[in-house]
Amino acid sequence: MSTVDAPAATRAPLFFLSYSRPPFRRSTPGATDPVLRFFEDLSVHVSELVGPETGVDAGFMDSAMTGGERWTPELLRAAGTCQVFVPLLSSALIGSAWCGMEWDAFSRRRLVPQGGGGPGHATAIVPVTWSPTDDARLPRVVRDIQRFSPTPMPDPDIVRQYEREGVYGLLTMRMENAYQAVAWRLAQRIVEIHRSFRVEPRVPAGFGELRNLFAGEER
């Protein structure tokens, strides 16, 4: 893996959204892609919280969905320089070799506390429940990291709704208040990690040096 120069690192996105759609997608004319909406809402909230940090993008989301086209230089640089990795947990993500390699690229990087300490985060990986999954079948690398929970929340029912339905479920059932609350709490978590830690840049030279962390594990 290669390092990056300081000016390039300052242009790194704060968060990297890792996701995979299921093979079948229904296209409804005029409908908003739920992943894109979530990414845009999260980016707006993060930008509001961090203020005008020159040259810093709030987030990165890869829009290419086929084969090796995912591994563009832009994607490799984002995976190797972003500060928080946000995988959207779903059955499709766990079955995706590309997402397993994105997780590998980020997890190889060293986490350094800012100012000599932090709030106790052991990782800058924040798994988000996108749709319900069979937890018993999740790879160990996923089970070993605590999932994001939108706490504290004035209405505890929102936490239960998110944990039961996932973000995709909240959007599908048009539970707008719950969805907005979850997106805001996640943005706060991302910024908290950004201010407490620095993830040292380490950009892969190519996808060939990465492995799918979801494959070949005991589950």
pLDDT in tens, 122-159: 799 999 999 999 988 899 999 999 999 999 999 999 99
The answer to whether 91 and 133 have CB atoms below 8 angstroms apart is yes
Please indicate, yes or no, if residue 51 is contained in any of the structural domains. yes
Please indicate, yes or no, if residue 217 is contained in any of the structural domains. no
pLDDT digits (tens, 9 = 90+) for 160-211: 999 999 999 999 999 999 999 999 999 999 999 999 999 999 999 888 899 9
Q: Euclidean distance between the first and final Cα of the chain, in Å?
A: 29
Residue 137: what are its φ and ψ, rounded to 5°?
-100, 5
Distances in whole angstroms, Cα of residue 96 to Cα of each of 20, 23, 88, 90, 140: 7, 11, 12, 10, 15
Please indicate, yes or no, if residue 43 is contained in any of the structural domains. yes
Please indicate, yes or no, if residue 9 is contained in any of the structural domains. no
Please indicate, yes or no, if residue 171 is contained in any of the structural domains. yes
Please indicate, yes or no, if residue 186 is contained in any of the structural domains. yes
Range of the domain at 159: 15-20+32-200
Please indicate, yes or no, if residue 215 is contained in any of the structural domains. no
Distance CA 46, CA 58 (A): 6
3-state secondary structure of 198: strand
Q: How many domains does the chain have?
A: 1
Please indicate, yes or no, if residue 213 is contained in any of the structural domains. no
Question: Which pTM value belongs to this model?
Answer: 0.89
The answer to whether 104 and 16 have CB atoms below 8 angstroms apart is no
